[in-house]
Amino acid sequence: MNKIKYLRYIAGFACLGSAVCAAQNPAANYPNKPIRVIIPTAAGGGSDQIVRQMGQHWTKVWGQQIVLDNRPGAGMTIGIDIATKATPDGYSLVLVNPSHAINATLMPKLPYHPVNDLIAISVVATQALGVVVPHSLPAKSVKELIALVKAKPKAYSFGSSGPGSASHLAGEMFTGMTGTQMEHIAYKGTGPVLMDLIPGRVHLYINPMLAIINQVNAGQMRLLAVTSPKRVASLPDIPTMIEAGVPGYEAMSWYMLLAPAKTPLPIIDKIHQETVNALKTREMLDMLAKGGTEAVGNTPKEALQYLKGEIERWGQVITRAKLRKE
């Protein structure tokens, strides 16, 4: 009997020790249920592609399902607001793009703080934007496009994925830097823009490559230039905007993974490590390369600094264009 009591005592002590260890390191048993990744944009965009590919790696390593939760609307603020209010336990994450940084200046009455209410895990990838026009438009280059628009001010339009989106500001940058006048038509996502661009009802769209590369490769529209400082490796014949005749025009899109503030740092570190590992897989690298996109996988500290820099950079563009959205 004494031996049995002793074994029970040891077992109880071990359980207590495990509970203490789990409390001290909340990442010890993480994850033990499905992980939700909120995508604050409409389904079918580049964010979906990235999360699905990254999720395959996470599921393989962790044995848990990755659930995509598209929550579009209000310039991404609906989905991001949901993320900021989620339980900070690592089971609700959010993948954002430049609109998150843009909104910091564009929308002075956000329901959350774009930096303080979220923890940056990593910049997942960066990519150039593509400058595309319909085949019906008689412009085979950026210089020809500028000449065409200048000849008939306000007769042409550029589409965007929504007010204050990266595509909106990229269009504003284009008109501002080229001295052209074009009507801005805001849509609810990439899909609706392409439905009007391809048949020529809208005349210009400057949008992240990953979201439009399939249509470009299918010959449905004409790619005139990319907005990166250097040419995209998978599109060596396509000039940059600077090469195409717009000095100083540079705009990069990006995808950043964040978690609600107060998510335990050991869990953040665990997610970060497997995000970096996912970005090293051949499947992920191939998928990104086809869309003119480069894997990043920087540290949470570096991602935070990057976000602050983007808020400042886009803030200057918004101020110059005198844009404001309530």
Encode pLDDT of 52-106 as tens digits. Answer: 999 999 999 999 999 999 998 888 999 999 999 999 999 999 999 999 999 999 9
Q: Is 84 within a domain?
A: yes
Encode pLDDT of 238-295 as tens digits. Answer: 999 999 999 999 988 999 999 999 999 999 999 999 999 999 999 999 989 888 889 9
Q: Is 170 within a domain?
A: yes
Are residues 273 and 138 both part of a single domain?
A: no
Q: What is the pLDDT, as a whole number, of residue 10?
A: 54
Are residues 104 and 138 both part of a single domain?
A: no
Are residues 214 and 183 both part of a single domain?
A: yes
Are residues 123 and 260 both part of a single domain?
A: yes
Q: Is 51 within a domain?
A: yes
Query: Does pLDDT of 17 surpass 60?
Result: no
SS3 44: coil
Q: What is the pLDDT, as a whole number, of residue 7?
A: 53
Q: Is 249 within a domain?
A: no
CA atoms of 202 and 199, how far apart (whole Å):
8
Residue 239 gets which letter from DSSP?
P
Residue 291 gets which letter from DSSP?
T
Domain of 194 in residue numbering reads as 128-226
SS3 217: helix
Q: For residue 12, what pLDDT band results from cuts at 50, 70 and 90?
A: low
Are residues 117 and 133 both part of a single domain?
A: no
Q: Is 233 within a domain?
A: no
Q: What is the pLDDT, as a whole number, of residue 211?
A: 85
Query: Does pLDDT of 117 surpass 60?
Result: yes
Residue 142 near residue 148 (C-beta atoms within 8 A): no
Top pLDDT among 17 and 190 is at 190
Are residues 275 and 296 both part of a single domain?
A: yes
Q: What is the pLDDT, as a whole number, of residue 276?
A: 98
Q: Is 232 within a domain?
A: no
Helix axes 300-321, 166-178, angle to 10 degrees: 50
Q: What is the pLDDT, as a whole number, of residue 24?
A: 65
What does each C-alpha distance from 208 to 19, 56, 252, 287, 301 come to in angstroms?
A: 47, 23, 8, 14, 25
Q: How confident is the prediction for the chain on average, in pLDDT?
A: 91
Q: Per the structure, how many domains does the chain have? A: 2
Query: Does pLDDT of 18 surpass 70?
Result: no
Are residues 57 and 74 both part of a single domain?
A: yes
Q: Which CATH number does the domain housing residue 168 bear?
A: 3.40.190.10
Q: Is 163 within a domain?
A: yes
b/e for 139-154, b at 16 or more Cβ within 10 A? beebeebbebbeeeee
Are residues 120 and 266 both part of a single domain?
A: yes
Query: Does pLDDT of 142 surpass 70?
Result: yes
Are residues 158 and 110 both part of a single domain?
A: no
Question: Smallest Cα–Cα separation from 255: which of 56, 136, 101, 147?
Answer: 101
Please give the model's pTM, rounded to 2 decimal places. Answer: 0.82
Are residues 137 and 211 both part of a single domain?
A: yes
The last residue of a domain, from among 207, 226, 245: 226
Are residues 135 and 123 both part of a single domain?
A: no
SS3 121: strand
Strand partners, 25: none
Q: For residue 132, what pLDDT band results from cuts at 50, 70 and 90?
A: very high
Q: Is 236 within a domain?
A: no
